[in-house]
Amino acid sequence: MDEVREVFEASTDFTIGLEEEFAILDPESLELVDRYPELYAAAQDDPVLADSAAGELIASEIEIRSGRAETMTEANRQQAEKRRHLFRLAADHGVALASLGTHPWADYLDQAIIDTPHYQRLKQDLGWVARRNNTWSLHVHVGIRGADRAVLVSDWLRERLPILLAASANSIFLDRQDTGLASIRTEIFTRTFPRCGVPGTFRDWDEYAEFIDDLKRFGSVVEATQLWWSVRPHHAFGTVEVRICDAQTTGRESTALAGLIAAIVAQTALDLDEGRLDGQEPLRGRQIEENLWRAIRYGMDGKMIDFRGRREIETRRMLAETIEWTAPARESLGIEVDLPESNGSQRMRRDFEDGKPIEEIYRDAVDETARTFADSPPLHR
């Protein structure tokens, strides 16, 4: 942990890294297919994807990473190129890619765990939990200079997680049913994995490092990636990583949401630097969990509690206030946030209530992903 501290002390503020996860599908049936090993091997022959494509536990999932960028604009440019190459690679290998929080009907018992020592160890350690996690997400890294500062930024970001989840909600279907939730992905992942969901506060690096050292000493973790919290200091990159959001159906939504996350992280750091949080304490875990449940259940269609203002407000209004609060960071970093009027969960539920079959809703979403992430033609019907 002393070495990790030095990583943060040498980090650069507000660099950006993006990670997008995709389901790998048969283009006709839209069933999940275990083709990750094949796609990953082929990606090693593509100079754009060789250092970008990665696995995420199950063999029917593939991730692409932008790599470190100095600005949001640069990160978006890098990721756009990787998207195009990944979707071209998938088409060449006869598979489709989907970008939602869950698959609407795939049985988790049918999914294979990637056959590497790392993922097979997780399968052994986590048992049913590892097999159950058939979910897809968007992760954003933001560089934060200073170890104590990174911990404080993470502490304060906790209370912003529910609004980010509500904005990103994109997983209403599971087991061929409307679950009644806006983000069943979050209920699956954060309620089953250990060291997941909303972490506690640590206040400074020493308290954080002591806890991590204890986890290692007593055998709970062997590497930092086993800290699956929805916001965490990333030990290798010197970043604060936000991991709360569902994967987004369209490239535009994914880009806009990533920009909002980066702006929230940067604005939190600026507020700390400029003393605007002096004399205050981050919200308690039980307060954040109440809003997180509201985000899981209702997404953008519900209300949240402003515990400091002791008021209940429309989630849509809280999002608008959050975006307005980030104006200084967005202006400084050149970040634009252009979220659509309705998010993925709202659109899917509207279609479902209008009588559209789940299979058709999913196929339309897969087509939209292909079109907006890679300018690809729709799947053959």
**Per-domain boundaries in the chain:** 2-374
CB of 143 closer than 8 Å to CB of 236: no
Whether 376 has a pLDDT exceeding 60, the answer reads no
- Tell me how many degrees the CA angle 61-140-68 measures, rounded to the nearest 5: 100
Share of the chain above pLDDT 70, in %: 98
CB of 169 closer than 8 Å to CB of 182: yes
Paired residues of 96 in beta bridges: 25
CB of 196 closer than 8 Å to CB of 228: yes
Radius of gyration of the chain (CA): 20
pLDDT (0 to 100) of residue 381 = 32
pLDDT (0 to 100) of residue 243 = 97
| Best CA proximity match to 246, nearest among 292, 305, 185, 297 | 185
pLDDT (0 to 100) of residue 118 = 86
Whether 298 has a pLDDT exceeding 90, the answer reads yes
pTM summary value? 0.96
| Best CA proximity match to 141, nearest among 149, 150, 133 | 150
- Amino acid in the structure at residue 41: A
Is domain 2-374 annotated with CATH 3.30.2010.10?
no
How many other CB atoms are found less than 10 A from the CB of residue 88?
15
Q: Which two tokens stand for residue 278?
A: 């002096």
* CA atoms within 13 Å, Cβ hemisphere of 276: 11
Render pLDDT for 108-151 as a digit per residue (tens, 0 to 9). 999 999 999 888 988 899 999 888 889 999 999 999 999 999 99
Whether 377 has a pLDDT exceeding 70, the answer reads no
Render pLDDT for 41-71 as a digit per residue (tens, 0 to 9). 999 999 999 999 999 899 999 999 999 999 9
CA 106 vs. chain centroid, Å, equals 21
Average model confidence (pLDDT) for the chain?
95
